[in-house]
Amino acid sequence: MGLATMIIISLQTPAALADSIQTPEMTVVPAGWFWQGSDAIERDYAYRIDEQIYGQDVAHRNRWYDSEITKWRIYLPQFEISTTPVTNAQYAAFVKDAGYPAPGVTKEIWDTYGLVHGFEATRPFTWKKGLPPSGRENHPVVLVSWQDAVAYTHWLSEKTGDSWRLPNEAEWEKAVRGPDGTFYPWGNIYDPTLLNSADRGPFDTMPVKSFPAGPYGLFDGAGQVFEWTMTQQQPGARIVKGGSWDDRGCGVCRPAARHSRPEHLRHILIGFRVLRVSSQDK
């Protein structure tokens, strides 16, 4: 081995490898106070827009939004969070390098979930030979469980030398919503032109950054895909946030909205974004 080769190898520190593994683009959320959760006024608005769209009060009767955190002001230190949900291309680097199973689910497992979507709905999102479906490289990755998302963060930590994890619910909500407690990233009035939801279509994931950014510069925090968080609702279940391309209304697309899903679930509506832990938080 020549000296030049040895020098090149010696320079391949974890940090130097970051670009080669498609490290997610990051956004800094500054330290400070923000309004988390919802009050009766916001929840009533969510129920009313859902009823207007669906022509029934099923959301209100089932008290979908009553479990939201009561609105309060909370301080968070500065943190970095990925600007978009993790994409198929970014996740593919993990699958290739780590030999990790590609996103997918069998019909037998899917049928045990008891979801409204039939197994055929998963086919457009299923990877083949370790590669994402053609043309979807810049779409959010889906069909990943909470454990899969955590495995990706562990891999990023190993490859970059930084510490990575999923955001907790408060971090996710501040990053998407901003400090002022608005119902949506853009304000208090629902606007279906500002997100990927079933109000306008295409009834599918879309390339990230297809809609305007939120208060801190994050994209796709409302609609597009639900996102896993670190926050545990109950043993074996984690909070997901953000709503999806399959939702109308869109009360569930508000950053304050929350519900849990089993950690093992691989769903066509759920992806994730990541947080890089600062040195003082390690």
In a domain, 13, yes or no: no
- Smallest CA-to-CA distance from 172 within 25, 34, 23 is with 34
In a domain, 214, yes or no: yes
Which of 57-61, 146-150, 265-269 has the lowest average pLDDT?
57-61
CA distance 129 to 278: 36
Q: How far is CA 160 from CA 22, 23, 87, 154, 276, in A?
A: 11, 8, 18, 10, 11
In a domain, 2, yes or no: no
* Domain span at 253: 19-281
How many structural domains are present in the chain? 1
CA distance 253 to 202: 16
Instruction: Assign residue 176 the CATH number of its domain.
Output: 3.90.1580.10
In a domain, 255, yes or no: yes
pLDDT in tens, 225-241: 999 999 999 999 999 99
Q: What pLDDT shows up at residue 85?
A: 98
pLDDT in tens, 31-41: 999 999 999 99
CA distance 96 to 102: 9
Helix axes 146-160, 88-98, angle to 10 degrees: 70
Q: What pLDDT shows up at residue 244?
A: 98
Query: SS3 of 67, please?
Result: coil
Q: Is the pLDDT of residue 6 over 60?
A: no
Instruction: Tell me the average pLDDT of the chain.
Output: 90
In a domain, 241, yes or no: yes
Which parts of the chain are beta strand (E)?
26-29, 32-36, 72-76, 79-82, 163-165, 226-234, 237-241, 259-262, 270-271, 275-277
In a domain, 5, yes or no: no
In a domain, 8, yes or no: no
In a domain, 4, yes or no: no
**The model's pTM:** 0.90
